[in-house]
Each structure stands twice: as C-alpha cells, then as structure tokens.
Amino acid sequence: MRAYAIRRILLGIPTLIIVTILVFLAVRLIPGNVIELMVAEMAQESGMGEELTVDYLRAQLGLDEPVYTQYFKFVGNLFRGDFGQSLWTGRDILPDIISRYPISIELGLIAIIISLSISWPVGVYSAIRQDTIIDYAGRTFAIGMLAMPNFWLATMVVVYPSIWFNWTPPIQYIPFVEDPIGNLGMFIIPGFLMGTGMSGGSMRFLRTMFLEVLRQDYIRTAWAKGLRERTIILKHALRNASIPLITSFGPMVLMLFGGSVIMEQIFCIPGLGRFFIDALNTRDYPVIQVMNLISAGSFIVVTITIDLSYAWLDPRITYR
Amino acid sequence: MADSLGGAPVPTGLPAEPTTTEVKQEEKAHHWLVDVGIRLVKEKPLGTVGGAIVLLLFLTGIFADLSWIGLPDVGLAPYGYNEVDLKIRLAAPSLQHPLGGDNMGRDMLSRIIHGARVSMFIGVFGSGIAVAVSTTLGLMCGYFGGKFDLIVQRFVDAWISFPMLFIYLTVMAIIGGGMIQLVLVLGISSGIGGSRGPRALVFWIKENVYVEAARAVGAPTSRILLHHLLPNIIPVLILSLSIGMGGMIMAEAGLSFLGFGLPPPIPSWGGMISGAGRIYMIRAPWMLLWPGIALSLVIYGINMFGDALRDLLDPRLRGGLGRYGGISEKKLDAIRKKAEEKS
C-alpha cells in the first residue's frame, strides 16, 4: 500500500509537467492573424491607438522570446505564485479566480447532492428489479433528464414562467454572507437542473455495479442463509457496489469546472465558468491559460486522492 | 461460434457464446450479433424503443433529401433547410408547415429533418473517430506495456484532466468552427480518454495461451494485434460507439449554445435552440420547442439502446434476472408462510 501510494504520487508529477506544456503550447498555437485581429479590436475598445501594435501585443503575451525561454519563464512564474495578468484589465488573474472559486464550488456541491439523491435510489432499485415497470420508469426519468439539454430547459425555466405566472427565477447574484436564504434560492434552480442532468450518468454506473455484485456468490449465500432482502441489499450488496462509485467523484469535480459553464451563463452566476467564457470571448489568453491549468491541476490532485482512498477502502485489491 | 470472431478462441467470459439452450441449437445459423439483436427485442423493450429511435434518426438523416445521389428535390423534407419564404416568417404551425416557420421564413419541419442528418453525421463520425483512436491507443499500450505504456499513459492522464468543454472551447477558439474541425476535435479528444477501457481489457486478454502460441509460431505483431486481440474487444467497442454518439451530439449542442459550434445556416438542433430560437422564444415558441424535443428524443434513444446493449454484451452482467431472483419482501413472506404451513 505504501509503495503504491508513493508510486501513484510520483506518477502524478510527469502528468502535471505535461499539463503545463499542453497549456503553454495551446496559447502558442494561436495563428498570427488572431493577434492582428486582437490589435484591431483592442485599439478600438481601449483607445490605446497607435502604441498598440502587433509587436507590443506579442511582447505582452511573451511571444517574442525563444519558446524554451518562454516555457521556463512561465513555469518559474507559476512557482513564485505569479499567474500572470489579464490582457484587458491588467489585473492579476489569481485573486479573481480565488474570489470566484467558492461560487462555482457551491453550485457544484448543490448539483452533486441533488444528483446523488436521485441516482442512488433509482440505480439500486432498478438493479434489484431489473426489467420491471419500476426499473423502466426510474431509468426513463434519470436518462430523460440526461437527454434533455440543460441549457434548453434552463432557457425555458428563465423565460416562460415570467410570462405565464409573472414569476422569474432569481438571476441576481446574492452573496451568502448577506442573505443565506436568498443565496440558496438563486442556486437551487441551476443546481437542480445540473444535478438531474448529472444523475443519469451515476445512476447508470451504480446500476451496472449493482447488477454485477448481485451475481456474486456471497449474495447467493446470503439468500441461502435466509436473510431478508433489505439486509442483503443494504449490508452486503450496497457496500460492495458503492466503493467503485468513489472513482466517479473525479469526473464530478471536472463537472464543477466544465459543466457549470452553461448554467452560470444562463443564470448570470459570476463563477469560474462565466469567467472562462468571458475570457474566451475577449480572447484573453493568459486567463484561458491559467483556467485550464488550475482545473487540470485540481483534477490530478483529486484523482490521486481518490485512487489512494479507493485502495485504502477496498482491501481486496492488491497493488504492485 | 468462435469462428465468427476471426478464428480466435473466445476467452471465458466474453459474450460470444449464447446463454440459453434454445439459442444454442441454432447457433450455427447466424452471426453472434444477430443473437444479440434477437435477445434485445425479446428481453429489452426499452432498449428496443431506443434502437428504433436511433434507426429513425438514421433513416431521416439519410433520406432528408437525396442530394448525395444528385437529387436535391426528392426526399423527406418538404423544403430545403435554407429555403426562405418570407410569408411564413415566424408563422405558427399550419397544414402546409406543420411545425411552423422560423425568423428567416424557413420551414421548421424541413430544418428539423435536415438537422437529423447533421446530428447523425456528428454522432457517427465523432464517435467513430473516438473509437478508432481509443482502440489504437488501447491495443498498443495494452499489448506493449512497459515503458511505452508508462509514457503514453502520462499523456493520457494529462489530457483527461482537462474538462472536455474547456478543451473543445480552447481548440475551437484557436482553429475556428466547421463541421470537419468539430468532428475531429470531439472525436480525438474523447478517444484519448476512452483508450483506458480497451487498454485494461487487452492487458487481461493477452495473458491467454493462444496469444502466447501465436507469438511462438512467429506471427508478426500486427497479426496478433489485429487477428487475436482486436476481435475480442469488439463488444466493448460497439458499446462505446453507441453510447459515445449521444455524448457527441450533446457536446455539439453545448458548443453551439456557447457560440462555438457549427456556423449558420447549417441546421444543427443545438444551434437552433441557442441562437434565434432563444431570441424569438416568446413570439415563436415552436422555434425553441421542436429542436429541443428532437434532441432529447435522440439522446434518450441512444442511451437506452446503449444501456440495453451493455446489459447484453457486458460479460460481467451475464445471466438474466434468475441469478438474483428479485423477489419482493411481500412475496418472500408469502412463500415463507406457505412453507411453514406445509411443515
């Protein structure tokens, strides 16, 4: 176990290095004409006029030096905690990201709680009663929510109730410290839409795991001993089936970053997703770079943690 | 049975051999895929519905018009997807235009029908590229193992640690939109992440004696990979192909919503929901409604079909209800009571 842990953590290091290279290269692959376009756009909007040239912008992006120098500068700055400045506002990127982090985390947590409270009962029940009406109904609901694009539902939820019932879901961001209930009220609708959309995936995963566990010998033994179904399901099957579910928390963390982009856009939530989209629309490459880096870095840390806790929780697995 | 899998003996646990004796008698009559089809219809009504929806999507997509054999005026769609008739601008559904008209005066029904072709194209090619990439990577990493695997897997790790949407958005912002670019980006990036499944499977299959035997008689690596390993992971590939299609169509819709999808006038359902559909959703709700319904229906169908296929193909899930029983507490109590009465 200790050897496995050390190996797992050591393998994370080259992965992180590759992530920095990918993030770094992505910005360097931008075709030159985009930079010219940026110059035109920026000159118009910022009023900087003639001093803003292609060369200036390239220098600003750090594109005027040899590639390897640029890379080591980039990584060196990261180690010193310097994540660069926004092209447009000139402000440090890191504080902006840190202030948005809790907003996206809150939205993501609400979504995950809702998704789990749907996917667990449906997944377990549809596995123990495979191919019955309840199985079909539960799965139709969970997969149906996955099938309906959440931006489609969200658009309708924002607009139609206001016409029919004169009621609009809150789309003004309310900080938690000022009004906790109002804050929760504005997160609950996007959170619910995201959560139901996510539940289909974990429901399917749990159902598959459960179907597999139910065919094991120890379940048959439990039946043969004359145990009640509730005991078999809750004590014998659920414990074994839910350990692998831990591994699906990793992709959920990615959802915290990626999946909330659309919801934050529709419900005007000033989280990380919106920050990222704004940066893409204004071609704010330093910001795009840092956002990609931070989300990938968090994911690597989370997956290592998950792998280690998985190995710790499931003693049957031996690692070399 | 084994012959149909390219001559390679089937390792225990792979879904090639039929489960019921009834099928066993006619096993020589048809391919194992036909068996799966028969069982799908017999045992999985929801999966059959899903399969029918997928089939409907394909037929609609192919026969939307016959421009691919030079007959653009013949086909299911009554009008062209970009045929403007200002008289039906924002028109409500009517007999001539059952689904109404959009803000440019185009027939919604025709656009939905042509949208099926776009979705089919993205689903089939995106998912096809993804499966091709993941199979190649998975086969090579799994078979060669060692240092090669160690190094390639670090890249795979790095790649999957980016949120998919971020990858798509960043790449699309760099290379610009378009059908081919979109399909390539979607396919390659999900293929890299998906290579883990085939890789794990190959690790397990290559321990079989027949692989050893093939190597001993001097079969070239390419032959071992293509004739001995590949046929054994085909059921898994069919699964990822079918489930991947839904993900591709959905990803395109999400990208279109954020303004990084297919450029107009390509009639993509995602694009219809997000652009003009949202602007005119109060005056002409059908512009938002129909594409959304079409999209949901197709994704639902693909998922249900894929789930049923998994139930049938996944070696770990073999054996229907019988192994578990699935008897409710009530029924069990009744049985116990009966047994007590007897004794």
Q: Which amino acid is at B34?
A: V
pLDDT of residue B52: 93
Secondary structure (DSSP) of B311-324 = HHH-GGG-S-GGGT
Interchain CB distance below 8 Å, B174 and A215: no
Cross-chain Cβ contact B314/A30 below 8 Å? no
Neighbouring C-beta atoms of residue B176, cutoff 10 Å: 12
* Of residues B154, B166, B303, nearest to A292 (C-beta): B166
Q: Most B CBs within 10 Å: which of A9, A10, A15, as the mutation test of the B interface?
A: A15
Would you state the pLDDT for residue B56?
92
Check CB contact under 8 Å for B303 and A146. yes
CB of B155 less than 8 A from some CB of A:
yes
Inter-CA distances, B189 with A21, B186, B238, Å: 17, 6, 19
Low-confidence ranges of chain A (pLDDT < 50): 320
Question: Min CA distance, A50 vs chain B (Å)?
Answer: 26
Comparing C-alpha atoms, which of A125, A154, A156 is closest to residue A142?
A: A125
In angstroms, rounded to a whole number, what is the distance separating the alpha carbons of residues B137 and B124? 20
Cα–chain center distance at A239: 26
Is the pLDDT score of B5 beyond 50?
A: no
pLDDT for position B55: 92
Least confident of A212-216, B269-273, B317-321: B317-321
What mean pLDDT is predicted for residues B337-342? 84
Amino acid, single-letter form, for residue A15: T
Among B285, B292, B317, select the one facing A152 at the smallest CB separation: B292
Q: Does B321 touch chain A (CB under 8 A)?
A: yes
Three-class SS of residue A65? coil
Question: Distance, in angstroms, between B48 CA and closest chain A CA?
Answer: 12
CA distance B332 to B338: 10
Q: How far, in Å, CA of A119 to CA of A121, rounded?
A: 6
Confidence of residue B130 (pLDDT cuts 50, 70, 90): very high
B28/B253 Cα distance (integer angstroms): 44
Contact A263, A273 (CB under 8 A): yes
| Between B26 and A274, the higher pLDDT residue | A274
Interface of B with A in 62-121 (CB under 8 A): none
Nearest-neighbour CA in chain B from A75: distance (Å): 16
Q: What span, in angstroms and rounded, lies between the C-alpha atoms of B246 and A157?
A: 24
Task: Identify the closest residue of chain A to B251 by CA–CA distance.
Answer: A149
Cis peptide before B11 (omega within 30 of 0): no
Residue B323 in this model has a pLDDT that exceeds 50: no
Touching A: B residues 230-259, CB under 8 Å = 246, 250, 253-254, 257-259
**Chain A with chain B: Cβ pairs closer than 8 A:** 173
Give dist(CA B14, CA B16) in Å, integer: 6
Distance between B273 CA and the closest CA of chain A, angstroms: 7
Instruction: Report pLDDT for A132.
Output: 80
pLDDT at B110 over 90: no
Residue of chain A whose alpha carbon sits nearest to that of B250: A149
CB contact under 8 A, A295 and B166: yes
Phi and psi for A296 in degrees, rounded to 5?
A: -65, -40
The rounded distance, in Å, linking the Cα atoms of A247 and A244 is 6
What average pLDDT does this structure show over B286-292? 87
* Per-residue pLDDT at B326: 52
Query: Cβ of B161 and A288 within 8 Å?
Result: no
Token representation of residue A316: 């049957």
Q: Read off φ and ψ for residue A85, nearest 5 degrees.
A: -120, 155
Instruction: Give residues with Cβ within 8 angstroms of A269, minimum separation 6.
Output: A103, A107, A173, A186, A187, A190, A260, A263
| Residue whose C-alpha is closest to residue B158's, from A250, A75, A296 | A296
Cα distances (angstroms) measured from residue A38 to each of A87, A231, B320: 10, 65, 61
Distance from the B256 Cα atom to the nearest Cα atom in chain A, whole angstroms: 11
B326 and chain A: CB distance < 8 Å anywhere?
A: yes
> B273 vs A128, A159, A278, B61, B209, CA distance in Å?
38, 14, 21, 19, 54
CB of B154 within 8 Å of any CB in chain A? yes
Contacts of A16 in chain B (CB under 8 A): 158
Strand partners, B107: B101
How confident is the model over B63-94, as pLDDT tens digits? 887 777 777 777 777 777 777 777 777 777 77
Q: For residue B53, what pLDDT band results from cuts at 50, 70 and 90?
A: very high
Q: Is B307 in CB contact (< 8 Å) with chain A? A: yes
Q: Closest partner residue to B166 among A144, A262, A276, by Cβ?
A: A276
Using the beta-carbon criterion (under 8 Å), do A22 and B321 form an inter-chain contact?
A: no
B258-289 b/e (C-beta count within 10 Å ≥ 16 → b): bbbbbeeebbbbbbbbbbbbbebbeebbbbbb
- Is the Cβ of B267 closer than 8 Å to some Cβ of chain A? no
Residue B101, pLDDT > 90, answer no
Mean pLDDT of B114-138: 92
Q: How far apart are CA B282 and CA A164, in angstroms?
A: 11
Angstrom distances, CA of residue A213 to CA of A175, A206, A210, A220, A237: 45, 10, 5, 10, 6
Top-confidence residue, A51 or B248: B248
CB contact under 8 A, B273 and A159: no
Percent of chain A residues topping a pLDDT of 90:
0
**Does residue B44 sit at the A interface (CB-CB below 8 Å)?**
yes
Residue among B293, B111, B238 at smallest CA distance from A148: B293
Q: How far is B270 from B250, CA to CA, in rounded Å?
A: 8
Q: Is B310 on the interface with A (CB under 8 A)?
A: yes
Phi first, then psi: what are they for A80, rounded to 5°? -85, 5
Q: Would the pLDDT of B330 be above 70? A: no
Average pLDDT across chain B, whole number: 78
